[in-house]
Amino acid sequence: MDFYNFTSLTHSIHEGLAKSFSPFIATTIEWVLVGLAYLTFVALFGLFLVYAERKVCAAFQQRLGPMRVGKWGLLQTIADFIKLLMKELIMPRKADWFLYNLAPFIVIIASFLAIAVLPFAPGLQSLDFDIGVFYLTAVSSVGVIGVLLAGWSSNNKYSLIGAMRSGAQILSYELSVSLSLMTMVVFAGTMQFSAIVEGQRDAWFIFSGHIPAIIAFVVFLIAGTAETNRGPFDLAEAESELVAGFHTEYSGIKFALFFLSEYINLFIVSAVAATVFLGGWMPLHFGNFESFNHVMDFIPPVIWFFMKVLGVMFIIMWFKWTFPRLRVDQILTLEWKYLLPINLINILLMALVVLTKFHF
C-alpha cells in the first residue's frame, strides 16, 4: 500500500514552497490551499449527498426521486443550490442583527474544524496530533452554540422552541458519542486517529474488539444520528409542528449554510465511525489468506475510506426513512435511561477485555 501514500507528495509540495518563499508566506499558501481543498470537497460532496438522500428516500418509498433536471436528475441539487443563492435575504424586523448573521457561520465553522482531523488516506490529513479524538469531540460541541443563537436571535417562538429542543438533544447525545469513542480509545490505547487506523492493519476494531466494540458501534450510530438532528430524531426541525425549527426565519445562502452543515455532520459521523470501528482507509484482511489480502491491498486507501463512509451513511439514511419521528420525551429517555448506562457498563467491559488481553 506504500505506493498509495500521499506523505511524499505533501512533503514535496511543502519543500517546494519553502524553497521559493519565506516561511510565513509558504505557510500561508499551504493554509489557503488546504482551505480551498476542503471548501471544494464540502461543496461537491454536499451536493452529492443531497441527491443521494433523495434517491435513497425515493427507493424506500417506491418512487423515482428527482428525474427532470439532467439525466436521472443529477443536476437537480445544483439547480436547487442556484435557486437558494438567488433568494432574497429576509431578516425579521426585531431580530438581533449581529447574532442572527453570526449563527450560521458558527455552525459551518464547527463542521470544518471537525473535518480537519479525519484521515482520508495515508498522509492525506490536515491535523494529526495525539489528542485527535478529544479535539473532535470538543469542536463538534461548538455547533450547538450556533443553533441556540439562531433560535434566540430570530425573535420567533417556533425558532426558540426548536433551538431549545435541539440544544437539549445535542448536549444529551454528545455524552453517548463521546463515551462510545472513549470505549475504543481504551481498546486502541491512543487518541491519535492515524495511530487508531494503523492499529487496525491486521483486523478492524469492530472484529477484534469483540462484543464491547460492536455495542459501542451501535450506540455511536444511534447517538450520532441523534446529535446531527436527523430522523427519527429530527423533532427539533419538525416541519409539521415548528415550521422547520431553529432556522425558520433564515433564507437564501444563510439557510443553505445550515442545510449544508447538516450534511457535513452526516459525513463527519460516518467518517469517524469508519475510522474508529471499520479500519479507516485500511483494506479488509482475513487472517492468513495471503492471496485475498494481497488483492485487497491493490484497492487505493481513499476508495476503501469512502466505501466505508458511504456504507455507514446508507445505514443512517435507512434509519431516517424507516422509523417514525420520536417525541421529545422519548428522545431524552432513550439517552439518559438506556444509552448512557449501556455506555458506562460497556466502557468497563472494554477495560476488562484490554486488561485480560481477551482480544485478537
Q: What is the pLDDT along the chain (360 residues), one digit of tens a residue?
A: 555 777 778 888 888 888 888 888 888 998 898 889 999 999 899 889 999 999 999 999 889 888 888 888 888 888 988 888 888 888 888 888 899 999 999 999 999 999 989 999 888 888 888 888 999 999 988 888 998 999 899 988 888 888 888 888 888 999 999 999 999 999 998 999 989 998 888 888 998 888 999 999 999 999 999 888 887 888 777 666 667 778 888 888 888 888 888 889 999 999 999 999 998 888 887 777 778 778 888 888 899 999 999 999 999 999 888 888 888 888 889 999 999 999 999 999 999 988 887 765
- Evaluate whether 112 touches 274 at the Cβ level (below 8 Å): no
CA distance 215 to 61: 30
Whether pTM exceeds 0.75: yes
Q: What's the confidence (pLDDT) of residue 2? A: 56
